[in-house]
Amino acid sequence: VRRSLAEAKRDMDGQNWDGARRNYENAAFIVTTSRFAPMGGDDELSKLGDEARTGLAELERMQAQAEQEQEAQSTREALAELAKQEEQSLLESRDRRARLLSAAIDQFNNERFDEAIEYANQVLAEEPDNRLARDIVAKSRKAKHEYMSKRLLEDTKQKYRDWQVDIERTKTPQSKILQWPSQTFWDEIT
């Protein structure tokens, strides 16, 4: 019993919970099955049994505490890893939005207003309160309207100029319409 108790304490110090449990249970089993002491020391055997039961209870408490500490450590590690991944995701998302905004500005400067609106809307889908993206969308729509109005005005002016040329052409007789008299006609009038 003493040897099992000593081994159980050594196993507990090494956090070998299974070995400690086995040794405490062996000691308790020996005490409960041996109701006689060869040297007349039933009191001593009873104390060793109490020590085995106390050791089992202490083992349960220490094992539960170690498991809680391990679980808390695992939770801290998992949360730290999750925070790291979340931070990485946020950085990647921020960089992606910056690239999209840069592309939108480039498209706006190249007067490709539909593409600028598309890039800015992609940013707004991820970050609805982005003021720069909203400004790009609004200014692109306005510039597109003005650009289209300007183009329409230019196209209309060109059409009017073309019509004006056509009108002037109709005033002047064309060579296709005029026919020169024949040589006999010239000969007769001469």
Sole residue written with tokens 């800015």: 120
Cα dihedral: 112, 116, 117, 123 (round 10): 170
Residue 174 has pLDDT above 80, yes or no: no
Sole residue written with tokens 């720069």: 132
Cα dihedral: 148, 149, 153, 158 (round 10): 10
pLDDT at 177: 59
In the numeric block, which tokens belong to residue 157? 């002016």
pLDDT in tens, 128-162: 999 999 999 999 998 888 888 888 788 888 888 88
